[in-house]
Amino acid sequence: MRLLTQADLSKVLEISITAICELVYTGRLPFHKIDGDNILFSADSIIRYIESPLAMEDLKYLTSLKKRLWENGPDKMKELKDYGSHFDTPQPPKRYYLEPVKNKKIGTVLYVRYLDNGKIIPSHWSTHTNDRGAAEHFAIANREKLLSRYYDRKTVKKPNGALYAILKRYYSENSPYLEIDAMRGRTIAEKSRVTYHNFVNNQFIPYLKKNGVKEIEDIDTPLLSKFQQLLFKGTVKRAPIMPQTINHYMSQISLIFDHLIQEGHAKTNPCKSLVGLKITEEQLRGCYEITKLKGVFNKKWKDEFPYLLCLVIYTTGMRNSEIERITVNDIIAIDGIRFIDIAKSKTKNGIRIVPLHDFVYRKITSYIKKTGKRENDLIFCNDKR
Q: Write down the pLDDT at residue 57.
A: 59
16-25, 164-173, 281-290: which is most confident: 164-173
Band (294; pLDDT cuts 50, 70, 90): very low
pTM (2 decimals)? 0.42
Would you say residue 275 has pLDDT above 80? yes
Q: What number is the average pLDDT over the span 324-352?
A: 76
Asked if residues 218 and 190 have their Cβ atoms less than 8 Å apart, the reply is no
Q: What number is the average pLDDT over the span 7-18?
A: 83
Would you say residue 84 has pLDDT above 80? no
Quick: pLDDT tens for 230-242: 888 877 567 778 7
CATH no. for 3-87: 1.10.10
Would you say residue 138 has pLDDT above 90? yes
Asked if residues 342 and 318 have their Cβ atoms less than 8 Å apart, the reply is yes
Q: Which of these ranges, 120-124, 143-147, 218-222, has the smallest mean pLDDT?
A: 120-124
Would you say residue 384 has pLDDT above 80? no
Band (345; pLDDT cuts 50, 70, 90): low
Residue 352 CB neighbour total at 10 angstroms = 23
Q: Which of these ranges, 76-85, 253-262, 278-287, 293-302, has the smallest mean pLDDT?
A: 278-287
Averaged pLDDT score across all residues of the chain: 79
Asked if residues 191 and 197 have their Cβ atoms less than 8 Å apart, the reply is no
Fold equal for 3-87 and 283-371: no
Band (58; pLDDT cuts 50, 70, 90): low
Q: Are strands 125-126 and 331-334 parallel, antiparallel or unpaired?
A: unpaired
CATH 3.30.70 is right for the domain spanning 163-279: no
More confident residue, 282 or 104: 104
Band (127; pLDDT cuts 50, 70, 90): very high
Is the Cα torsion angle 177, 179, 181, 183 positive or negative in sign?
Answer: negative
Would you say residue 102 has pLDDT above 80? yes
Would you say residue 249 has pLDDT above 50? yes
Band (296; pLDDT cuts 50, 70, 90): low
One-letter amino acid of 257? F
3-state secondary structure the chain: CCEECHHHHHHHHCCCHHHHHHHHHCCCCCCEEECCCEEEEEHHHHHHHHHCCCCHHHHHHHHHHHHHHHHHCHHHHHHHHHHHHHHCCCCCCCCEEEEEEEECCCEEEEEEEEEECCEECCCCEECCCCCHHHHHHHHHHCHHHHHHHHHHHHHCCCCCCCHHHHHHHHCCCCCHHHHHHHHCCCCCCHHHHHHHHHHHHHHHHHHHHHCCCCCHHHCCHHHHHHHHHHHHHCCCCCCCCCHHHHHHHHHHHHHHHHHHHHCCCCCCCHHHHCCCCCCCHHHHCCCCCHHHCCCHHHCCCCCHHHHHHHHHHHHHCCCHHHHHCCEHHHEEEECCEEEEEECCCCCHHHCEEEECCHHHHHHHHHHHHHHCCCCCCECCCCCCC
- Percent of the chain scoring above 70 in pLDDT: 81
Q: What number is the average pLDDT over the span 77-104?
A: 74
Q: Write down the pLDDT at residue 214.
A: 82
Instruction: Find all residues with CB under 8 Å of 245, minimum gap 6, and list them.
Output: 351, 352, 353
Q: What number is the average pLDDT over the span 272-284?
A: 69
Q: What is the architecture of the domain spanning 283-371?
A: Orthogonal Bundle (1.10)
Q: Write down the pLDDT at residue 141.
A: 92
Band (97; pLDDT cuts 50, 70, 90): confident
Give which of 85, 3, 76 is closest to 40, Cα–Cα.
Answer: 3
Instruction: Find all residues with CB under 8 Å of 61, minimum gap 6, and list them.
Output: 26, 28
Q: Write down the pLDDT at residue 111.
A: 92
Band (286; pLDDT cuts 50, 70, 90): very low
Would you say residue 95 has pLDDT above 90? no
Q: Where are the domains of the chain?
A: 3-87, 96-155, 163-279, 283-371
Q: Write down the pLDDT at residue 273.
A: 86
Would you say residue 151 has pLDDT above 90? no
Band (225; pLDDT cuts 50, 70, 90): very high
Burial class, 107, CB count within 10 angstroms (exposed 0-12 / middle 13-18 / buried 19+): exposed
Q: What number is the average pLDDT over the span 234-263?
A: 81
Rounded (5°) CA angle 237-240-243: 150
Band (1; pLDDT cuts 50, 70, 90): low
Quick: pLDDT tens for 171-208: 998 888 888 888 777 778 787 888 889 999 998 999 99
Would you say residue 373 has pLDDT above 70? yes
